[in-house]
């Protein structure tokens, strides 16, 4: 099947914000293959506003926002709202790894037929194999590969630039530090079972900053550890209030090193090819770990419990990364 034979292909992708960054290589490739004819459906609401900012770079005709409600039954969507986005479409690419509650998708596909649909599920006229052994970025990249086997994910795994004005402000902030400083961006908060205990951070940062006087630390995210007891607290920036998402995104874009748990900012750092130390417990490193950054260390809890990751293990991973790959200060 050649996507160029369709005048109005539409792709539907919606998931957590981090997944939107993971999906970028696949969406970029689909948009390029469709040569400006592709439209995108994603969620509306608060997450939709962030998604629209993430996806603004895509060379698509339209971005439609629909309501996706999280309920006890799962994700729910209005079939009429989705159907309206597909009225003029001649190809429906369902890139989601979830199905809406009830018989919604069957109803939508019944109305859409005989026009072709593509997705991971048997309801689609073309089913893409769901390979759990793949990294999530590679799993989603099966869609552009379906249309062109020569498509290379590495060609589309480039930096997702934050809004220009936010990036400018963060770069101005970076210039306040000595040019030789190495900016360590730390993201510590996520779902409870994926969070490394906050009380471990002061000891870790003391060891890092004792041995690496050029390191300056900035915490991003909503909740941050209390690091007031750190010996080098003057080299640690910890905003009391959560910054706008785009500002945290921009801080990752200027990081010299990133330390973080499995979360959206890990995926952003990966696309920026920042050297990374990642902390993993219950989630799959194979599915959600670093995919594109050439220099990274993963510190994993074999037990799945984040509290079992020791300060020594994280420091050793960080020290090994710094020793094996001299960190070049990013401008």
pLDDT tens digits along 69-127 = 888 888 899 999 999 999 999 999 999 999 988 888 999 999 999 999 999 999 899 99
pLDDT given at position 95: 98
Asked if 149 and 189 sit in the same domain, the reply is no
Asked if 104 and 178 sit in the same domain, the reply is no
Domain boundary, last residue among 156, 187, 220: 156
Domain boundary, last residue among 156, 180, 213: 156
Residue 246: asked if its preceding bond is cis (omega within 30°), the reply is: no
User: What is the chain's mean pLDDT, rounded?
Assistant: 94
Q: Which domain holds residue 195?
A: 164-324
Phi, psi of 164 (to 5 degrees): -55, -45
* Spatial distance between the Cα atoms of 56 and 287, rounded to a whole number of angstroms: 26
The edge-to-edge listing of strands for the beta sheet with 276-280 is: 236-238, 215-220, 182-187, 257-261, 276-280, 296-300
pTM equals 0.94
Domain boundary, last residue among 123, 140, 156: 156
pLDDT given at position 266: 98
pLDDT given at position 179: 87
Asked if the model's pLDDT at residue 169 lies above 80, the reply is yes
Please report, rounded to a whole number, the percentage of residues in the chain having pLDDT higher than 90.
84
* Spatial distance between the Cα atoms of 192 and 153, rounded to a whole number of angstroms: 32
For residues 215 and 235, is the Cβ–Cβ distance under 8 A? Answer: yes
pLDDT given at position 325: 61
Asked if the model's pLDDT at residue 326 lies above 70, the reply is no
**Nearest CA-CA partner of 147 in 1, 314, 286:** 1
pLDDT given at position 129: 95
Asked if 54 and 197 sit in the same domain, the reply is no
Q: Angle CA(252)–CA(255)–CA(256) in degrees, nearest 5?
A: 155
**Nearest CA-CA partner of 49 in 245, 221, 189:** 245
Residue bearing tokens 């993993």: 280
For residues 227 and 233, is the Cβ–Cβ distance under 8 A? Answer: yes
What radius of gyration do the chain's Cα atoms show?
Answer: 21
Q: How many CA atoms lie within 13 A of 51 on its CB side?
A: 25
Residue bearing tokens 């993963």: 298
Asked if 20 and 69 sit in the same domain, the reply is yes
* Spatial distance between the Cα atoms of 238 and 229, rounded to a whole number of angstroms: 13
Asked if 126 and 202 sit in the same domain, the reply is no
Asked if 287 and 252 sit in the same domain, the reply is yes
What's the token pair of residue 64? 């439609």
pLDDT given at position 69: 86
Q: How confident is the model over 279-291, as a mean pLDDT?
A: 97
Asked if 106 and 171 sit in the same domain, the reply is no
For residues 277 and 299, is the Cβ–Cβ distance under 8 A? Answer: yes
pLDDT tens sequence across 21-47 = 999 999 999 999 999 999 999 987 666
For residue 262, being part of any structural domain is answered with: yes
pLDDT given at position 49: 84
- Beta-carbon count within 10 A of 159 CB: 13
Domains: count for the chain: 2
pLDDT tens sequence across 231-280 = 999 999 999 899 999 999 999 999 999 999 999 999 999 999 999 999 99
Asked if 178 and 227 sit in the same domain, the reply is yes
Asked if 119 and 234 sit in the same domain, the reply is no
Q: How far is CA 137 from the centre of its chain?
A: 9
Asked if 98 and 172 sit in the same domain, the reply is no
Residue 316 to residues 160, 207, 219: CA-CA distances in angstroms? Answer: 30, 10, 20
| Higher local confidence (pLDDT), 155 or 331 | 155
Query: CATH number, domain at 208?
Result: 3.40.50.2000
* H helices present in 222-263, as ranges: 245-253
pLDDT given at position 194: 97
Helix, strand, or coil (residue 205):
helix
pLDDT range class, residue 145, cuts 50, 70, 90: very high
């Amino acid at each position: 099947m050649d996507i160029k034979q369709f005048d109005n292909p539409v792709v539907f992708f919606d998931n957590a914000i981090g997944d939107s960054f993971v999906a970028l290589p696949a969406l970029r490739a689909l948009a390029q293959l469709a040569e400006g004819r592709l439209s995108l459906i994603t969620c509306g609401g608060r997450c939709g506003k962030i998604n629209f900012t993430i996806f603004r770079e895509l060379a698509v005709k339209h971005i439609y926002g629909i309501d996706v409600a999280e309920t006890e039954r799962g994700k729910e969507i209005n079939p009429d709202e989705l159907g309206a986005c597909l009225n003029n479409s001649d190809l429906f690419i369902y890139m989601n790894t979830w199905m809406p509650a009830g018989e919604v998708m069957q109803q939508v596909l019944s109305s859409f037929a005989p026009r072709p649909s593509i997705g991971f599920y048997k309801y689609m006229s073309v089913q893409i194999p769901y390979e759990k052994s793949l990294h999530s970025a590679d799993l989603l990249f099966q869609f552009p590969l379906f249309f062109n086997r020569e498509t290379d994910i590495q060609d589309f795994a480039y930096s997702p630039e934050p809004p220009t004005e936010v990036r400018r402000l963060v770069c101005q902030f970076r210039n306040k530090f000595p040019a030789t400083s190495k900016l360590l961006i730390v993201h510590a908060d996520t779902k409870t079972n994926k969070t490394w205990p906050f009380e471990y951070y002061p000891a870790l940062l003391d060891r890092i900053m004792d041995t690496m006087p050029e390191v300056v630390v900035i915490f991003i995210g909503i909740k941050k550890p209390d690091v007031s007891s750190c010996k080098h607290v003057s080299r640690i920036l910890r905003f009391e209030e959560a910054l706008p998402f785009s500002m945290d995104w921009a801080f990752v874009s200027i990081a010299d090193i990133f330390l973080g748990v499995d979360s959206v900012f890990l995926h952003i750092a990966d696309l920026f090819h920042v050297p990374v130390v990642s902390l993993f417990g219950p989630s799959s490193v194979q599915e959600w770990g670093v995919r594109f950054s050439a220099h990274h260390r993963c510190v994993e809890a074999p037990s799945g419990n984040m509290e079992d990751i020791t300060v020594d293990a994280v420091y050793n991973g960080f020290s090994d990364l710094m020793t094996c790959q001299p960190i070049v200060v990013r401008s």
